[in-house]
Amino acid sequence: MKKSRFTESQIVFALKQSETGVKIEEICRKMGISEATFYNWKK
């Protein structure tokens, strides 16, 4: 399995930001990821 560029805490932080109302588009731009990657994390 390929090692993730992001730590588990970074992924959790991104997911919690979306719950607080930050736009997913903005989170993805700041982290340098695609929206597809974000939604895969959310699964």
- State whether residue 38 is helix, strand or coil: helix
Say which residue the tokens 């588009």 belong to.
Answer: 25
- Calpha distance 3→16 (Å, rounded): 22
pLDDT digits (tens, 9 = 90+) for 2-42: 777 899 999 999 999 999 999 999 999 999 999 999 999 99
pLDDT at 28: 96
Q: What is the DSSP string of 4-29?
A: PSS-HHHHHHHHHHHHTT--HHHHHH
Comparing 1 with 9, the larger pLDDT belongs to: 9
pLDDT at 31: 94
Q: Which two tokens stand for residue 17?
A: 């930001």
| Alpha-carbon dihedral angle through residues 25, 13, 11, 34, given to the nearest 10 degrees | 10
pLDDT at 4: 79
pLDDT at 29: 97
